[in-house]
Amino acid sequence: MSRPGLHGHTYPRDFLRSVQKEGFGRIATPVNGRNYIRYNRGSYNFAGPPSGGGGVLISRYSAAARLSGPLRRGLVLETPASEVQNVFGSTRWKIVDTGGGLHRWQIDCYYGEDEPLGPGRLMARPRSTTFEYAYSTARIAR
């Protein structure tokens, strides 16, 4: 199917749903030198590497949050939970973007590129993760 901003290019419905949920999706055949599709405010467009308000996202380091209280752009957090360390190989996260669909105090950690676990509702989950949500405490890194 095609959507506004894709200029007649067609992609699988599940892929476009995943792009809408995650913000970016890598395409197999570049369009005008762009390897990704980005979804923003009801429209799709062809884009470069995944980015947020703070520039290009860094796998297993960049994060998004609903900005409230002490959560602000540029803040570096540590997540001491062993489950998060085991999956991501990281304990430090920098808030570089906002997430419109995020709840208060929720942090969306950028995993990086991976094949989807999908199809269907699992399309937005990376294949190499074993959980959809994890609950942990975090502290401001010094």
What is residue 120's predicted lDDT score, i.e. its pLDDT?
A: 73
- 20 and 66 in a single domain? The answer is no
- 10 and 41 in a single domain? The answer is yes
The amino acid at 34: R
What is residue 124's predicted lDDT score, i.e. its pLDDT?
A: 64
Give per-residue pLDDT as tens, 119-137: 777 766 777 766 655 566 6
Distance (Å, rounded) from C-alpha 109 to C-alpha 94? 9
- 18 and 71 in a single domain? The answer is no
Give per-residue pLDDT as tens, 30-48: 999 999 999 988 899 999 9
Q: How many domains does the chain have?
A: 2
- 70 and 109 in a single domain? The answer is yes
The amino acid at 128: S
Q: Give strand pairing partners of 76.
A: 94
pTM of the model: 0.76
What is residue 8's predicted lDDT score, i.e. its pLDDT?
A: 94
For the chain, the farthest-separated pair of C-alpha atoms sits apart, in whole angstroms, at 49
- 60 and 112 in a single domain? The answer is yes
Give per-residue pLDDT as tens, 63-119: 999 888 888 899 999 988 887 788 788 889 999 988 767 888 888 888 887 777 777
